[in-house]
Amino acid sequence: MMREKNGGLIINIRVLDTDDAKQYLLLRLEGLKTDPSAFGSTYAREIELSLTDFEQRIEASDTQFTVGGFDGAELVCTAAFIRSQGVKSKHKGSLVAMYCKSEYRGTGIAKEVVLHLIDQVRGLDGVENINLSVVTENIRALAFYESFGFEIYGTEPKAMFDGERYYDEHLMSLNLKDR
């Protein structure tokens, strides 16, 4: 999907492929560095990964894919979906690794990325729910996900520990059958 926005800025939203791995790697590392409490991984861990690791991570399949938002040719926002693989849990999956460059927050590109992800998930046979977790202190992200219809179904205390402090996370779900 490509559209014009804000004075001729060209926004392109699409599923990433392995050719996008270098840009994805750089954006992912930026996110881990600038917003460490938003991710379960760390900059120190992922800086050690190879480009091939990132190519494998974003290679789209019937169980996972990553959506990217581009300003022209520059990747500025991403969100990934991973489908559960258990026999009794393949009706759901998780929205993970959401990140948008700070200068693009509030422009609508993150919303377009998540809408595209939700549309892609709707095309997967048998998927009924998208789950995610968000740090309870991240009020902006919580409101963002609620704007799509995600609802809190629980809160996990001490869900993450960065070596210095614990972070609680809200567990959220979007029922695709209700929409």
Per-residue model confidence as pLDDT tens digits over 107-121: 999 999 999 999 999
Of the candidates 115, 121, 79, 82, the one whose C-alpha atom is nearest the C-alpha of residue 100 is: 79
Q: Give the per-residue pLDDT at 2.
A: 47
> The domain 2-126 is classified under which CATH number: 3.30.365.10, 3.40.50.720, 1.10.10.10, 3.40.630.30?
3.40.630.30
Query: Does the pTM exceed 0.85?
Result: yes
Span 47-80, pLDDT tens digits: 999 999 999 999 999 899 999 999 999 999 999 9
- Within 13 A of 118's CA, how many CA atoms are on the CB side? 21
Structure tokens at 108: 């609508």
Residue 73's pLDDT is what?
A: 94
Query: Where on the phi/psi map is residue 166: left (φ > 0), alpha (ψ -120 to 50), or beta?
Result: beta
pLDDT (tens, 9 = 90+) of the chain, 179 residues, equals 545 455 456 789 999 999 999 999 999 999 999 988 888 888 999 999 999 999 999 999 989 999 999 999 999 999 999 999 999 999 999 999 999 999 999 899 999 999 999 999 999 999 999 999 999 999 999 999 999 999 999 999 999 998 899 999 999 999 998 76
At 37 the pLDDT is 84
Q: Whole-angstrom Cα distance, residue 118 to residue 121? A: 5
